[in-house]
Amino acid sequence: MDHVLEEVVRRCDAGEAIALCTVVGARGSTPQAAGARMLLIADGTTAGTLGGGCVEAEVRQQALKLLLAGESKLLTFKLDHDYGWDDGLICGGTMDIFVQTLGCREDAADYRSAVEALHAGRNAVIELTYTSEGEQRKFSETIEPPSKLLIVGAGHVGQALAAIAPALGFAVSVLDDRADCASVERFPVAEKRLVGEIEDELRKYPIDPQTYVVIVTRGHRHDGRALAAVIDSPARYIGLIGSKRKVKTIFEDLHSQGIALEKLQRVHAPIGLEIAAVTVPEIAVSIAAELVAVRRGRDGQTAAPLKFDSKLLSELLSGRK
């Protein structure tokens, strides 16, 4: 869920004056893409981010002045040395940021509709109208509802994954057959904690194309049954933890039961991206990274460092590129 939009609605409903700063245009290399939002409150505190650094600080200062004046305005920033000298953020791009002042329930009507749509599992559309160089322009953004992450297994890995997934935009549910494991104390940020026979509960669970299923139960038998229960579902992602030997054994068993090879090929197993993870938190990061890769359309692509290789770095520093 977009918590900035929820906060906009809450504060406008209370009649509080606020300024919503939205990136409506981004050209070249910028710290945030169009659609990034930061909410500024009259006391100077903020929610959300425009990428940090000097630009965000400058937007905050100008937005405070606009808020006091009750005005809305488009701000444009070129990310050169003027905005990067003290924090290294010299991106070279240009950002257009629309500062919209709001102060009553009616002002938040469109945002309220968007929040309601997202809560109902539907796409929401945000449209802004602003003036740039004397011309009226429009910005439109479609926001998808949060991806649903169903963690099957309330053990250590499931607990660690559930702790970090909400910050990545996943609404977490956890399922286990042990009530003491799938508890509020162990999974405080989970939206749902389901207890029951794993296979039975999975067959009842409303898995849709926005659902990511991570199978991390406490044993081979439970993992196999869980996978069998979801293999025919329309889940966006199905991941199974375990060694290659364990995965092979489960796949052979399911294939012998009549599950087609192409269905097994869609399963991410062994689960996660290869980052040489050893500890439970590291394994959770590996799984979370794969979830993000699938959501961003990089499924099946090899994970690799973003750093320059030595040859390219030498060419860059020598001025040849």
Indicate whether 105 and 158 sit together in one domain: no
Number of CB atoms found within 10 A of residue 21's CB? 26
Q: Looking at the predicted structure, is the pLDDT value of residue 89 above 70? A: no
In the β-sheet with 73-78, what is the strand arrangement from edge to edge? 46-48, 37-41, 18-27, 94-102, 73-78
pLDDT band at 82 (very low <50, low <70, confident <90, very high): low
- In terms of residue numbers, what domain contains 188? 147-295
Indicate whether 118 and 167 sit together in one domain: no
3-state SS string for 72-117:
CEEEEEECCHHHCCCCCCCCCCEEEEEEEEECCHHHHHHHHHHHHH
Indicate whether 291 and 188 sit together in one domain: yes
Indicate whether 129 and 152 sit together in one domain: no
Q: What is the per-residue pLDDT for 311?
A: 82
Q: What is the mean pLDDT of the chain?
A: 91
More confident residue, 61 or 312: 61
pLDDT band at 86 (very low <50, low <70, confident <90, very high): very low
Q: Identify the residue whose tokens are 């996660």.
A: 272
The tokens for 172 are: 């977490």
Indicate whether 176 and 112 sit together in one domain: no
Q: What is the per-residue pLDDT for 320?
A: 58
On whether residue 321 sits in a domain, the answer given is no
Contacts of 279 (CB under 8 A, 6+ apart): none
pLDDT band at 88 (very low <50, low <70, confident <90, very high): very low
pLDDT tens-digit map of 152-177: 999 999 999 999 999 998 999 999 99
Which of 143, 172, 207 is the last residue in one of the domains? 143
- % of the chain exceeding 70 in pLDDT: 95
The CATH number for 208's domain is 3.40.50.720
Q: Looking at the predicted structure, is the pLDDT value of residue 31 above 70? A: yes
Which of 102, 117, 143 is the last residue in one of the domains? 143
Indicate whether 134 and 250 sit together in one domain: no
Query: CA 51 → CA 21, 35, 54, 287, distances in Å?
Result: 12, 12, 9, 25
On whether residue 313 sits in a domain, the answer given is no
On whether residue 16 sits in a domain, the answer given is yes
Indicate whether 104 and 164 sit together in one domain: no
Task: Enumerate long-range contacts of 54-57, CB under 8 Å, 24 or more apart.
Answer: 54/82, 54/83, 54/84, 54/85, 54/86, 54/87, 54/89, 55/31, 55/79, 55/83, 55/89, 55/95
Indicate whether 19 and 154 sit together in one domain: no
Q: What is the per-residue pLDDT for 11?
A: 97
Q: What is the per-residue pLDDT for 33?
A: 86
Indicate whether 153 and 190 sit together in one domain: yes
Mean pLDDT along residues 180-199: 96
pLDDT band at 85 (very low <50, low <70, confident <90, very high): very low
pTM of the model: 0.74
On whether residue 302 sits in a domain, the answer given is no
Task: Enumerate long-range contacts of 107-111, CB under 8 Å, 24 or more apart.
Answer: 107/12, 108/8, 108/9, 108/12, 108/13, 111/5, 111/8, 111/9, 111/12
Indicate whether 255 and 226 sit together in one domain: yes
- Among the ranges given (54-58, 65-69, 255-259, 282-286), the one the predictor scored with the smallest mean pLDDT: 54-58
Bridging pattern class, strands 46-48 and 124-132 = unpaired
Q: Looking at the predicted structure, is the pLDDT value of residue 235 above 90? A: yes
Which of 103, 119, 143 is the last residue in one of the domains? 143
On whether residue 277 sits in a domain, the answer given is yes
On whether residue 310 sits in a domain, the answer given is no
pLDDT band at 1 (very low <50, low <70, confident <90, very high): low
Indicate whether 199 and 155 sit together in one domain: yes
Q: What is the per-residue pLDDT for 217?
A: 95
- Among the ranges given (60-64, 86-90, 130-134, 280-284), the one the predictor scored with the smallest mean pLDDT: 86-90
Mean pLDDT along residues 117-126: 90
Q: Identify the residue whose tokens are 């926005």.
A: 210
Number of domains in the chain: 2
- Among the ranges given (3-17, 187-201, 272-286, 294-308), the one the predictor scored with the smallest mean pLDDT: 294-308
Indicate whether 232 and 109 sit together in one domain: no
On whether residue 253 sits in a domain, the answer given is yes
On whether residue 195 sits in a domain, the answer given is yes
Q: Identify the residue whose tokens are 């322009």.
A: 137
